[in-house]
Chain A
Amino acid sequence: MTDDYEHYEAVVVGAGPGGAAAAVQLANNGVETLVLERGVESGSKNVSGGLIYAEESAPYTIDGLFPEFRAAASERPVTNYYLHNVAGERVKTFDVTPLHEHDTEWSDAVLRRKMDSWLEQRVHEETRETGGGLLTGVRVNGLLREGGEIVGVTCDELEPITADLIVAADGVNSELARDAGLMDWEEPDEWFQGVKAVVDMPAGAVEERFDIDEDEGVAHLFSGDLFEGARGGGFLYTNESTLSIGTVFHLDSIVDESVEPQQLLDRLLTHPLLAQWLGDDYTELEYGAKLVPDSKKVANPSPHRGRLLLVGDAAGQMQAQGPIIKGMNHAVTAGALAAEAFVEARSRGDPTDAGERYEHKLESEGVMAKLRPRRYELAATLGENDTVTSITDSLLQSPLGRIGVRAADKLGVLDWGYTSPFLAMMMPDTRTPYVTMPRVIAEELGTRVTDESTVEPPALDERIGDLTYDVDDPHIELVDESYEASGAAVTACPVSAEDFGGGCYRAETIQTNGSTERVVSLDTQPCVECGTCAVVAETDWDHPPGGKGVEFKQG
Chain B
Amino acid sequence: MHSVVLTKGVPDFREGQVSFDEDGHLERGDTPTVMNPNDKFALRAALQTKVRHGGRVSLASMGPPGYKEILQEGMRDVYADDLYLLSDREMGAADTWATAMTLATGIDQFEEEPDLLFAGFKTADGETGHTGPQTAWCLDWPTITHVVAFEVDETERTIRAKRLVEGDVSEIETVEAPLPAFVVTDPEFEASYRTARERLRYKDFRAETQERAAAYEDHLTVWDHEDLNLDPDYIGLDGSPTIVAGVDPIPKAPSEREATMVDPDEMDPVFEELQPFAGAD
Residues of A within 8 A of B (CB): 6, 8, 34, 36, 124, 128, 132-133, 135, 138, 157-159, 161
Q: Which B residues between 165 and 206 are near A, CB-CB below 8 angstroms?
A: 194-197, 199-200, 203-204
Chain B: which residue is nearest A159 at the CB level?
B194
In the complex, what distance in Å separates the CA atom of A158 from the CA atom of B200?
Answer: 12
In the complex, what distance in Å separates the CA atom of A6 from the CA atom of B199?
Answer: 12
- Return the contact of A34 from the options B194, B196, B204 (Cβ within 8 A): B196
Q: Which of B194, B196, B199, B204 has the most CB of A within 10 A?
A: B196
Q: Which of B195, B200, B203, B204 has the most CB of A within 10 A?
A: B200
Task: Give the shortest distance, in Å, between A27 (CB) and chain B (any CB).
Answer: 14
Contacts of A124 in B (CB 8 A): 203
CB pair B200–A6 under 8 Å, yes or no, is: no
In the complex, what distance in Å separates the CA atom of A210 from the CA atom of B213?
Answer: 46
- Chain B contributes a number of interface residues (CB within 8 A of A) equal to 8
Return 7 A-B CB contacts under 8 Å, by A number: A36-B196, A128-B204, A133-B196, A157-B194, A158-B195, A158-B199, A161-B196
Chain B: which residue is nearest A34 at the CB level?
B196
Task: Give the shortest distance, in Å, between B190 (CB) and chain A (any CB).
Answer: 13
CB pair B199–A135 under 8 Å, yes or no, is: yes
CB pair B195–A133 under 8 Å, yes or no, is: no
Task: Give the shortest distance, in Å, between B127 (CB) and chain A (any CB).
Answer: 33
Contacts of B197 in A (CB 8 A): 6
Contacts of B204 in A (CB 8 A): 128
CB pair B195–A135 under 8 Å, yes or no, is: no
In the complex, what distance in Å separates the CA atom of A327 from the CA atom of B252?
Answer: 57
Q: How many residue pairs bridge A and B at CB < 8 Å?
A: 27
Contacts of B194 in A (CB 8 A): 157-159
Additional 7 contacts, C-beta under 8 A, given A36-B196, A133-B200, A135-B203: A6-B197, A8-B196, A34-B196, A133-B196, A138-B196, A138-B199, A161-B196
CB pair B195–A6 under 8 Å, yes or no, is: yes
In the complex, what distance in Å separates the CA atom of A132 from the CA atom of B199?
Answer: 11
6 cross-chain pairs, A with B, having the tightest CB-CB distances, nearest first: A133-B200, A135-B199, A159-B194, A6-B195, A34-B196, A159-B195
Q: Which B residues between 187 and 244 are near A, CB-CB below 8 angstroms?
A: 194-197, 199-200, 203-204
In the complex, what distance in Å separates the CA atom of A133 from the CA atom of B196?
Answer: 9
Residues of B within 8 A of A (CB): 194-197, 199-200, 203-204
In the complex, what distance in Å separates the CA atom of A133 from the CA atom of B199?
Answer: 10
Task: Give the shortest distance, in Å, between B256 (CB) and chain A (any CB).
Answer: 29
Task: Give the shortest distance, in Å, between B199 (CB) and chain A (any CB).
Answer: 5
In the complex, what distance in Å separates the CA atom of A159 from the CA atom of B192?
Answer: 12
Contacts of A132 in B (CB 8 A): 200
CB pair B200–A128 under 8 Å, yes or no, is: yes
Task: Give the shortest distance, in Å, between B51 (CB) and chain A (any CB).
Answer: 13
Task: Give the shortest distance, in Å, between A552 (CB) and chain B (any CB).
Answer: 22
Contacts of A161 in B (CB 8 A): 196
In the complex, what distance in Å separates the CA atom of A8 from the CA atom of B200?
Answer: 13
Task: Give the shortest distance, in Å, between B207 (CB) and chain A (any CB).
Answer: 10
Contacts of B196 in A (CB 8 A): 6, 8, 34, 36, 133, 135, 138, 158, 161
In the complex, what distance in Å separates the CA atom of A541 from the CA atom of B197?
Answer: 30
Task: Give the shortest distance, in Å, between A155 (CB) and chain B (any CB).
Answer: 9
Contacts of A135 in B (CB 8 A): 196, 199-200, 203
Contacts of B195 in A (CB 8 A): 6, 158-159
Chain A: which residue is nearest B201 at the CB level?
A133
Contacts of A133 in B (CB 8 A): 196, 200, 203
Chain B: which residue is nearest A124 at the CB level?
B203
In the complex, what distance in Å separates the CA atom of A124 from the CA atom of B195?
Answer: 17
Chain B: which residue is nearest A155 at the CB level?
B196
In the complex, what distance in Å separates the CA atom of A132 from the CA atom of B204?
Answer: 12
Chain B: which residue is nearest A127 at the CB level?
B200
Task: Give the shortest distance, in Å, between B192 (CB) and chain A (any CB).
Answer: 10
Contacts of A8 in B (CB 8 A): 196
Chain A: which residue is nearest B199 at the CB level?
A135
In the complex, what distance in Å separates the CA atom of A530 from the CA atom of B194?
Answer: 29
Task: Give the shortest distance, in Å, between B195 (CB) and chain A (any CB).
Answer: 5
In the complex, what distance in Å separates the CA atom of A135 from the CA atom of B197?
Answer: 10
Contacts of A6 in B (CB 8 A): 195-197
In the complex, what distance in Å separates the CA atom of A6 from the CA atom of B197?
Answer: 8
In the complex, what distance in Å separates the CA atom of A405 from the CA atom of B215?
Answer: 72
Contacts of B199 in A (CB 8 A): 135, 138, 158
Chain B: which residue is nearest A157 at the CB level?
B194
Contacts of A34 in B (CB 8 A): 196
In the complex, what distance in Å separates the CA atom of A161 from the CA atom of B198?
Answer: 13
Task: Give the shortest distance, in Å, between B92 (CB) and chain A (any CB).
Answer: 44
Contacts of B200 in A (CB 8 A): 128, 132-133, 135
Task: Give the shortest distance, in Å, between A311 (CB) and chain B (any CB).
Answer: 21
In the complex, what distance in Å separates the CA atom of A365 from the CA atom of B199?
Answer: 37
Task: Give the shortest distance, in Å, between A451 (CB) and chain B (any CB).
Answer: 45
Task: Give the shortest distance, in Å, between B203 (CB) and chain A (any CB).
Answer: 7
Task: Give the shortest distance, in Å, between B204 (CB) and chain A (any CB).
Answer: 8
In the complex, what distance in Å separates the CA atom of A432 from the CA atom of B196?
Answer: 52
Task: Give the shortest distance, in Å, between A434 (CB) and chain B (any CB).
Answer: 46
Task: Give the shortest distance, in Å, between A120 (CB) and chain B (any CB).
Answer: 11
In the complex, what distance in Å separates the CA atom of A6 from the CA atom of B200?
Answer: 13
In the complex, what distance in Å separates the CA atom of A218 from the CA atom of B252?
Answer: 57
Task: Give the shortest distance, in Å, between B185 (CB) and chain A (any CB).
Answer: 22
In the complex, what distance in Å separates the CA atom of A329 from the CA atom of B45?
Answer: 44
In the complex, what distance in Å separates the CA atom of A6 from the CA atom of B193?
Answer: 13
Contacts of A36 in B (CB 8 A): 196
In the complex, what distance in Å separates the CA atom of A161 from the CA atom of B197?
Answer: 11
Task: Give the shortest distance, in Å, between A436 (CB) and chain B (any CB).
Answer: 54
Chain B: which residue is nearest A36 at the CB level?
B196
In the complex, what distance in Å separates the CA atom of A36 from the CA atom of B195?
Answer: 12
In the complex, what distance in Å separates the CA atom of A138 from the CA atom of B196?
Answer: 9
In the complex, what distance in Å separates the CA atom of A158 from the CA atom of B204?
Answer: 18
Chain A: which residue is nearest B194 at the CB level?
A159
In the complex, what distance in Å separates the CA atom of A161 from the CA atom of B195?
Answer: 8
Task: Give the shortest distance, in Å, between A162 (CB) and chain B (any CB).
Answer: 11
Task: Give the shortest distance, in Å, between A322 (CB) and chain B (any CB).
Answer: 43
Contacts of A158 in B (CB 8 A): 194-196, 199
In the complex, what distance in Å separates the CA atom of A342 from the CA atom of B204?
Answer: 28
Chain A: which residue is nearest B198 at the CB level?
A158
Contacts of A157 in B (CB 8 A): 194
In the complex, what distance in Å separates the CA atom of A32 from the CA atom of B203?
Answer: 17
Task: Give the shortest distance, in Å, between A80 (CB) and chain B (any CB).
Answer: 42
In the complex, what distance in Å separates the CA atom of A34 from the CA atom of B201?
Answer: 13
Task: Give the shortest distance, in Å, between A127 (CB) and chain B (any CB).
Answer: 9
In the complex, what distance in Å separates the CA atom of A431 from the CA atom of B195?
Answer: 52
Task: Give the shortest distance, in Å, between B52 (CB) and chain A (any CB).
Answer: 14
Contacts of A159 in B (CB 8 A): 194-195
Task: Give the shortest distance, in Å, between A545 (CB) and chain B (any CB).
Answer: 14
Contacts of B203 in A (CB 8 A): 124, 133, 135
Chain A: which residue is nearest B202 at the CB level?
A135
Chain B: which residue is nearest A6 at the CB level?
B195
Task: Give the shortest distance, in Å, between A132 (CB) and chain B (any CB).
Answer: 8
Contacts of A128 in B (CB 8 A): 200, 204
Task: Give the shortest distance, in Å, between B205 (CB) and chain A (any CB).
Answer: 13
In the complex, what distance in Å separates the CA atom of A36 from the CA atom of B200?
Answer: 11
Q: Which of B194, B199, B203, B204 has the most CB of A within 10 A?
A: B199
Q: Which of A124, A133, A138 has the most CB of B within 10 A?
A: A133
In the complex, what distance in Å separates the CA atom of A85 from the CA atom of B196?
Answer: 52
Task: Give the shortest distance, in Å, between B275 (CB) and chain A (any CB).
Answer: 50
Chain B: which residue is nearest A8 at the CB level?
B196
In the complex, what distance in Å separates the CA atom of A132 from the CA atom of B194?
Answer: 15
Task: Give the shortest distance, in Å, between B145 (CB) and chain A (any CB).
Answer: 29
Task: Give the shortest distance, in Å, between B211 (CB) and chain A (any CB).
Answer: 14
Chain B: which residue is nearest A5 at the CB level?
B195
